[in-house]
Structure 1
Protein backbone atom coordinates (compact mmCIF):
# COMPACT_ATOMS: atom_id res chain seq x y z
CA UNK A 1 0.00 0.00 0.00
CA UNK A 2 1.25 3.46 -0.90
CA UNK A 3 1.40 6.65 1.06
CA UNK A 4 -1.92 8.11 2.16
CA UNK A 5 -2.34 11.78 1.34
CA UNK A 6 -5.26 13.86 2.55
CA UNK A 7 -6.34 16.90 0.56
CA UNK A 8 -8.76 19.50 1.89
CA UNK A 9 -9.33 23.24 1.46
CA UNK A 10 -9.93 23.63 5.21
CA UNK A 11 -6.72 24.07 7.17
CA UNK A 12 -8.53 23.44 10.49
CA UNK A 13 -9.65 20.00 9.33
CA UNK A 14 -6.21 19.10 7.99
CA UNK A 15 -4.65 19.95 11.36
CA UNK A 16 -6.90 17.35 13.02
CA UNK A 17 -5.76 14.51 10.73
CA UNK A 18 -3.02 12.25 12.08
CA UNK A 19 -0.74 9.69 10.39
CA UNK A 20 -1.44 11.03 6.90
CA UNK A 21 0.52 13.38 4.69
CA UNK A 22 -1.66 16.49 4.36
CA UNK A 23 -2.04 18.94 1.49
CA UNK A 24 -4.06 22.15 1.52
CA UNK A 25 -5.91 22.35 -1.78
CA UNK A 26 -8.98 21.77 -3.90
CA UNK A 27 -10.13 18.74 -5.87
CA UNK A 28 -10.51 20.93 -8.95
CA UNK A 29 -6.78 21.73 -8.94
CA UNK A 30 -4.89 18.73 -7.61
CA UNK A 31 -1.27 19.70 -6.90
CA UNK A 32 0.07 16.30 -7.98
CA UNK A 33 1.78 14.90 -11.07
CA UNK A 34 -0.08 12.76 -13.58
CA UNK A 35 -0.52 9.14 -12.48
CA UNK A 36 1.04 9.78 -9.06
CA UNK A 37 -1.42 7.60 -7.09
CA UNK A 38 -2.75 4.07 -7.39
CA UNK A 39 -6.14 5.20 -6.11
CA UNK A 40 -7.98 8.41 -5.34
CA UNK A 41 -10.89 8.47 -2.90
CA UNK A 42 -13.59 11.11 -3.28
CA UNK A 43 -15.73 10.68 -0.18
CA UNK A 44 -18.53 13.10 0.78
CA UNK A 45 -17.02 15.55 -1.67
CA UNK A 46 -18.92 15.52 -4.97
CA UNK A 47 -21.92 17.32 -3.48
CA UNK A 48 -19.81 20.21 -2.18
CA UNK A 49 -17.53 21.05 -5.13
CA UNK A 50 -18.23 23.84 -7.61
CA UNK A 51 -17.53 21.74 -10.69
CA UNK A 52 -17.78 17.97 -10.31
CA UNK A 53 -16.64 17.43 -13.91
CA UNK A 54 -13.31 19.12 -13.18
CA UNK A 55 -12.89 17.08 -9.98
CA UNK A 56 -13.47 13.84 -11.89
CA UNK A 57 -11.03 14.84 -14.66
CA UNK A 58 -8.40 15.72 -12.07
CA UNK A 59 -8.89 12.44 -10.19
CA UNK A 60 -8.52 10.51 -13.45
CA UNK A 61 -5.38 12.51 -14.24
CA UNK A 62 -3.60 11.54 -11.01
CA UNK A 63 -4.93 7.96 -10.55
CA UNK A 64 -5.86 4.87 -12.49
CA UNK A 65 -8.50 3.89 -9.94
CA UNK A 66 -11.04 6.17 -8.28
CA UNK A 67 -13.48 5.34 -5.50
CA UNK A 68 -16.20 7.89 -4.90
CA UNK A 69 -18.85 7.68 -2.19
CA UNK A 70 -22.07 9.67 -2.05
CA UNK A 71 -25.38 9.98 -0.26
CA UNK A 72 -27.66 9.52 -3.30
CA UNK A 73 -30.25 12.25 -3.80
CA UNK A 74 -32.97 9.67 -4.49
CA UNK A 75 -32.23 7.57 -1.39
CA UNK A 76 -34.13 7.87 1.89
CA UNK A 77 -31.10 9.58 3.46
CA UNK A 78 -30.63 11.91 0.50
CA UNK A 79 -34.28 12.96 0.78
CA UNK A 80 -33.80 13.65 4.50
CA UNK A 81 -30.73 15.80 3.81
CA UNK A 82 -32.55 17.68 1.03
CA UNK A 83 -35.33 18.53 3.48
CA UNK A 84 -32.76 19.71 6.02
CA UNK A 85 -31.12 21.79 3.27
CA UNK A 86 -34.43 23.52 2.57
CA UNK A 87 -34.63 24.31 6.29
CA UNK A 88 -31.21 26.02 6.14
CA UNK A 89 -28.87 23.30 7.45
CA UNK A 90 -25.36 24.75 7.66
CA UNK A 91 -23.81 22.09 5.37
CA UNK A 92 -26.61 20.50 3.38
CA UNK A 93 -27.97 23.87 2.24
CA UNK A 94 -24.72 24.28 0.28
CA UNK A 95 -24.75 20.75 -1.18
CA UNK A 96 -25.79 19.52 -4.60
CA UNK A 97 -26.77 15.90 -4.12
CA UNK A 98 -26.37 13.53 -7.07
CA UNK A 99 -28.02 10.27 -8.02
CA UNK A 100 -25.77 7.27 -8.61
CA UNK A 101 -26.68 7.41 -12.30
CA UNK A 102 -25.53 11.05 -12.55
CA UNK A 103 -22.16 10.26 -10.98
CA UNK A 104 -21.66 7.27 -13.27
CA UNK A 105 -22.47 9.43 -16.31
CA UNK A 106 -19.85 12.02 -15.30
CA UNK A 107 -17.14 9.37 -14.99
CA UNK A 108 -18.12 7.64 -18.23
CA UNK A 109 -17.99 10.98 -20.05
CA UNK A 110 -14.26 11.13 -19.25
CA UNK A 111 -13.45 7.57 -20.26
CA UNK A 112 -13.65 5.75 -16.92
CA UNK A 113 -15.22 2.32 -16.56
CA UNK A 114 -17.51 1.44 -13.66
CA UNK A 115 -16.04 -1.58 -11.88
CA UNK A 116 -18.16 -2.01 -8.76
CA UNK A 117 -20.96 -0.46 -6.69
CA UNK A 118 -21.30 -1.06 -2.96
CA UNK A 119 -24.08 0.15 -0.68
CA UNK A 120 -24.63 0.46 3.04
CA UNK A 121 -26.90 2.25 5.53
CA UNK A 122 -30.27 0.56 5.24
CA UNK A 123 -31.71 2.86 7.91
CA UNK A 124 -31.03 6.34 9.24
CA UNK A 125 -27.63 6.48 10.98
CA UNK A 126 -29.20 7.43 14.31
CA UNK A 127 -31.23 4.18 14.23
CA UNK A 128 -28.30 1.86 13.56
CA UNK A 129 -26.88 0.32 16.72
CA UNK A 130 -24.20 -1.82 15.07
CA UNK A 131 -22.13 -1.55 11.93
CA UNK A 132 -24.39 -2.02 8.93
CA UNK A 133 -23.50 -4.59 6.29
CA UNK A 134 -21.98 -3.62 2.95
CA UNK A 135 -23.86 -4.94 -0.07
CA UNK A 136 -22.62 -5.40 -3.63
CA UNK A 137 -25.10 -3.79 -5.99
CA UNK A 138 -25.86 -5.14 -9.45
CA UNK A 139 -28.49 -2.67 -10.73
CA UNK A 140 -29.13 1.07 -10.45
CA UNK A 141 -32.60 0.43 -9.03
CA UNK A 142 -31.01 -1.23 -5.99
CA UNK A 143 -29.02 1.90 -5.13
CA UNK A 144 -32.13 3.71 -3.85
CA UNK A 145 -32.34 1.26 -0.92
CA UNK A 146 -29.06 2.46 0.58
CA UNK A 147 -28.18 5.75 2.23
CA UNK A 148 -24.51 5.56 1.30
CA UNK A 149 -23.10 4.32 -2.01
CA UNK A 150 -19.49 3.80 -3.09
CA UNK A 151 -18.52 3.34 -6.73
CA UNK A 152 -15.18 2.16 -8.06
CA UNK A 153 -14.05 3.42 -11.46
CA UNK A 154 -11.06 2.36 -13.52
CA UNK A 155 -9.34 4.70 -15.96
CA UNK A 156 -9.61 3.22 -19.44
Structure 2
Protein backbone atom coordinates (compact mmCIF):
# COMPACT_ATOMS: atom_id res chain seq x y z
CA UNK A 1 0.00 0.00 0.00
CA UNK A 2 2.90 2.40 0.71
CA UNK A 3 3.89 2.14 -2.99
CA UNK A 4 0.63 3.81 -4.02
CA UNK A 5 1.21 6.70 -1.64
CA UNK A 6 4.85 7.01 -2.70
CA UNK A 7 3.90 7.09 -6.37
CA UNK A 8 1.01 9.54 -6.01
CA UNK A 9 2.26 11.61 -3.06
CA UNK A 10 1.81 14.94 -4.87
CA UNK A 11 -1.70 14.04 -5.98
CA UNK A 12 -2.55 13.01 -2.42
CA UNK A 13 -1.22 16.25 -0.96
CA UNK A 14 -2.96 18.46 -3.52
CA UNK A 15 -6.33 16.95 -2.53
CA UNK A 16 -6.18 18.89 0.73
CA UNK A 17 -5.75 22.17 -1.14
CA UNK A 18 -8.56 21.36 -3.55
CA UNK A 19 -10.91 20.30 -0.73
CA UNK A 20 -9.75 22.72 1.93
CA UNK A 21 -13.16 23.07 3.63
CA UNK A 22 -13.37 19.29 4.12
CA UNK A 23 -9.82 19.16 5.45
CA UNK A 24 -10.39 22.00 7.92
CA UNK A 25 -13.70 20.47 9.03
CA UNK A 26 -11.86 17.25 9.86
CA UNK A 27 -9.13 19.17 11.68
CA UNK A 28 -11.75 20.89 13.85
CA UNK A 29 -13.41 17.58 14.73
CA UNK A 30 -10.08 16.08 15.78
CA UNK A 31 -9.21 19.18 17.78
CA UNK A 32 -12.27 18.58 20.00
CA UNK A 33 -10.65 15.48 21.53
CA UNK A 34 -6.95 16.26 21.09
CA UNK A 35 -5.06 16.78 24.37
CA UNK A 36 -3.95 20.38 24.80
CA UNK A 37 -0.55 19.30 26.10
CA UNK A 38 1.72 16.29 26.07
CA UNK A 39 3.83 14.49 23.49
CA UNK A 40 1.91 13.12 20.53
CA UNK A 41 2.57 10.75 17.62
CA UNK A 42 0.63 10.46 14.38
CA UNK A 43 0.71 6.92 13.01
CA UNK A 44 0.34 7.21 9.24
CA UNK A 45 1.41 10.84 9.17
CA UNK A 46 1.34 11.04 5.37
CA UNK A 47 2.48 14.46 4.18
CA UNK A 48 1.99 15.96 7.62
CA UNK A 49 -1.21 17.85 6.85
CA UNK A 50 -2.96 16.89 10.09
CA UNK A 51 0.10 16.75 12.34
CA UNK A 52 1.28 20.22 11.34
CA UNK A 53 -2.19 21.75 11.72
CA UNK A 54 -2.81 20.11 15.10
CA UNK A 55 0.62 20.58 16.67
CA UNK A 56 1.46 16.87 16.72
CA UNK A 57 5.24 16.98 16.72
CA UNK A 58 6.12 13.40 15.70
CA UNK A 59 4.89 11.04 13.01
CA UNK A 60 5.62 7.80 11.18
CA UNK A 61 4.75 6.54 7.72
CA UNK A 62 5.99 3.72 5.46
CA UNK A 63 5.94 5.97 2.36
CA UNK A 64 9.29 7.71 1.88
CA UNK A 65 8.02 10.56 -0.31
CA UNK A 66 5.26 11.32 2.18
CA UNK A 67 7.74 11.47 5.06
CA UNK A 68 9.90 13.92 3.12
CA UNK A 69 6.99 16.36 2.73
CA UNK A 70 5.93 15.91 6.37
CA UNK A 71 9.45 16.89 7.45
CA UNK A 72 9.23 19.99 5.26
CA UNK A 73 6.11 20.91 7.24
CA UNK A 74 8.08 20.77 10.48
CA UNK A 75 7.00 17.32 11.67
CA UNK A 76 9.62 15.02 13.19
CA UNK A 77 8.66 12.24 10.77
CA UNK A 78 10.40 8.93 10.22
CA UNK A 79 10.00 5.87 8.03
CA UNK A 80 8.31 3.23 10.14
CA UNK A 81 5.43 0.74 10.20
CA UNK A 82 2.46 0.97 12.54
CA UNK A 83 2.56 -2.78 13.11
CA UNK A 84 6.09 -2.61 14.54
CA UNK A 85 6.84 0.86 15.90
CA UNK A 86 10.46 1.67 16.69
CA UNK A 87 9.66 3.51 19.93
CA UNK A 88 10.11 2.42 23.53
CA UNK A 89 7.17 1.55 25.75
CA UNK A 90 5.26 4.49 27.24
CA UNK A 91 6.94 7.10 25.03
CA UNK A 92 3.89 9.24 24.20
CA UNK A 93 0.92 10.88 25.90
CA UNK A 94 -1.34 10.40 22.89
CA UNK A 95 -1.41 8.88 19.42
CA UNK A 96 -3.50 9.81 16.38
CA UNK A 97 -4.43 7.52 13.50
CA UNK A 98 -6.29 9.64 10.95
CA UNK A 99 -7.78 8.00 7.83
CA UNK A 100 -5.05 5.37 8.08
CA UNK A 101 -6.61 2.33 9.75
CA UNK A 102 -8.41 1.42 6.51
CA UNK A 103 -5.07 1.04 4.72
CA UNK A 104 -3.05 -1.10 7.15
CA UNK A 105 -2.67 -4.88 6.83
CA UNK A 106 -3.24 -5.68 10.51
CA UNK A 107 -5.37 -3.00 12.24
CA UNK A 108 -5.44 -4.79 15.60
CA UNK A 109 -1.66 -5.08 15.68
CA UNK A 110 -1.35 -1.37 14.91
CA UNK A 111 -3.69 -0.51 17.78
CA UNK A 112 -1.82 -2.81 20.16
CA UNK A 113 1.43 -1.12 19.17
CA UNK A 114 -0.19 2.26 19.77
CA UNK A 115 -1.18 1.15 23.25
CA UNK A 116 2.35 -0.09 23.92
CA UNK A 117 3.97 3.26 23.14
CA UNK A 118 1.37 5.22 25.13
CA UNK A 119 1.82 6.16 28.76
CA UNK A 120 -0.68 4.97 31.36
CA UNK A 121 -4.11 6.45 30.60
CA UNK A 122 -2.74 7.70 27.30
CA UNK A 123 -5.25 8.74 24.68
CA UNK A 124 -5.74 7.38 21.19
CA UNK A 125 -7.58 9.38 18.53
CA UNK A 126 -8.91 7.55 15.48
CA UNK A 127 -10.31 9.38 12.45
CA UNK A 128 -12.33 7.25 10.03
CA UNK A 129 -14.64 7.48 7.07
CA UNK A 130 -17.64 5.57 8.44
CA UNK A 131 -18.43 2.72 6.04
CA UNK A 132 -22.05 2.61 7.25
CA UNK A 133 -22.55 6.26 6.33
CA UNK A 134 -23.26 7.96 2.99
CA UNK A 135 -19.63 9.09 2.67
CA UNK A 136 -18.19 5.62 3.18
CA UNK A 137 -20.56 4.23 0.56
CA UNK A 138 -19.67 7.11 -1.79
CA UNK A 139 -15.93 6.43 -1.58
CA UNK A 140 -16.40 2.67 -1.90
CA UNK A 141 -18.29 3.23 -5.17
CA UNK A 142 -15.90 5.89 -6.45
CA UNK A 143 -12.88 3.54 -6.38
CA UNK A 144 -10.22 6.26 -6.41
CA UNK A 145 -6.55 5.35 -6.81
CA UNK A 146 -6.22 5.52 -3.01
CA UNK A 147 -9.52 4.13 -1.76
CA UNK A 148 -9.96 1.25 -4.21
CA UNK A 149 -7.87 -0.98 -1.93
CA UNK A 150 -9.07 0.50 1.37
CA UNK A 151 -10.92 -1.60 3.93
CA UNK A 152 -13.37 0.83 5.49
CA UNK A 153 -14.62 0.32 9.04
CA UNK A 154 -17.82 1.13 10.88
CA UNK A 155 -17.68 2.87 14.26
CA UNK A 156 -18.73 -0.39 15.94
CA UNK A 157 -15.90 -2.30 14.26
CA UNK A 158 -13.34 0.26 15.41
CA UNK A 159 -14.77 0.13 18.94
CA UNK A 160 -14.35 -3.65 18.97
CA UNK A 161 -10.75 -3.38 17.75
CA UNK A 162 -9.94 -0.73 20.35
CA UNK A 163 -11.39 -2.84 23.16
CA UNK A 164 -9.39 -5.85 21.97
CA UNK A 165 -6.24 -3.70 21.98
CA UNK A 166 -6.82 -2.54 25.57
CA UNK A 167 -8.67 0.77 25.22
CA UNK A 168 -11.86 2.04 26.87
CA UNK A 169 -13.72 5.28 27.80
CA UNK A 170 -14.91 6.20 24.31
CA UNK A 171 -16.04 9.58 23.01
CA UNK A 172 -17.09 10.61 19.51
CA UNK A 173 -17.30 13.62 17.21
CA UNK A 174 -18.54 13.76 13.64
CA UNK A 175 -18.39 16.12 10.67
CA UNK A 176 -18.89 16.16 6.87
CA UNK A 177 -22.67 16.04 6.58
CA UNK A 178 -22.87 16.43 2.79
CA UNK A 179 -21.14 14.99 -0.26
CA UNK A 180 -17.69 16.51 -0.94
CA UNK A 181 -18.79 18.48 -4.02
CA UNK A 182 -21.44 20.29 -1.94
CA UNK A 183 -19.10 21.45 0.83
CA UNK A 184 -17.81 24.99 0.35
CA UNK A 185 -17.33 26.04 3.99
CA UNK A 186 -16.11 24.52 7.24
CA UNK A 187 -18.71 22.28 8.89
CA UNK A 188 -18.95 22.50 12.66
CA UNK A 189 -18.31 19.15 14.40
CA UNK A 190 -21.07 17.57 16.47
CA UNK A 191 -20.89 15.04 19.28
CA UNK A 192 -21.73 11.44 18.50
CA UNK A 193 -21.82 9.56 15.21
CA UNK A 194 -24.31 8.31 12.63
CA UNK A 195 -24.86 11.42 10.52
CA UNK A 196 -21.39 12.71 9.71
CA UNK A 197 -19.25 10.88 7.17
CA UNK A 198 -16.03 11.54 9.08
CA UNK A 199 -16.00 10.27 12.66
CA UNK A 200 -13.40 10.83 15.36
CA UNK A 201 -13.23 8.15 18.05
CA UNK A 202 -11.24 8.88 21.19
CA UNK A 203 -10.35 6.32 23.87
CA UNK A 204 -7.92 5.80 26.75
CA UNK A 205 -5.49 2.97 27.36
CA UNK A 206 -6.36 0.66 30.23
Normalized against structure 2, the TM-score is what?
0.69
Q: Which deviations, in whole Å up to 9, do the C-alpha atoms of 1:91-121 show, x marking residues without a partner?
A: 1111000000000001111221033100000
Q: How does 1:20-99 map to 2 (within 5 A)?
A: 20-63=75-118, 64-85=122-143, 89-99=144-154
Following the alignment from structure 1 to structure 2, what is the Cα–Cα distance between the partners of residues 129 and 144? 22
Equivalent in the alignment of 1:14? 67
Equivalent in the alignment of 2:156? 101
Partner SS, residue 15 of structure 1: helix
Equivalent in the alignment of 1:153? 203
List, as ranges, runs of 4+ consecutive aligned residues in structure 1 with deviation greater than 6 Å: none
Following the alignment from structure 1 to structure 2, what is the Cα–Cα distance between the partners of residues 146 and 40? 23
Cα distance, 1:125 vs structure 2? 2.3
Unaligned regions of 5+ residues in structure 2, if any? 1-36, 41-56
Equivalent in the alignment of 2:46? none
> How much is the aligned-residue C-alpha RMSD, in angstroms?
1.2
Q: Is the 8 A contact 1:8 1:14 kept in 2?
A: yes
Equivalent in the alignment of 1:129? 184
Following the alignment from structure 2 to structure 1, what is the Cα–Cα distance between the partners of residues 102 and 66? 18
Higher helix share: 2
What count of residue pairs does the alignment treat as equivalent?
A: 148
Following the alignment from structure 1 to structure 2, what is the Cα–Cα distance between the partners of residues 113 and 100? 14
Partner SS, residue 35 of structure 1: coil
Q: Is the 8 A contact 2:97 2:127 kept in 1?
A: yes
Normalized against structure 1, the TM-score is what?
0.91
Cα distance, 1:75 vs structure 2? 0.7
Unaligned regions of 5+ residues in structure 1, if any? 138-142
Cα distance, 1:129 vs structure 2? 1.3
Partner SS, residue 122 of structure 1: coil
Q: Is the 8 A contact 1:119 1:147 kept in 2?
A: yes
Q: Is the 8 A contact 2:103 2:150 kept in 1?
A: yes
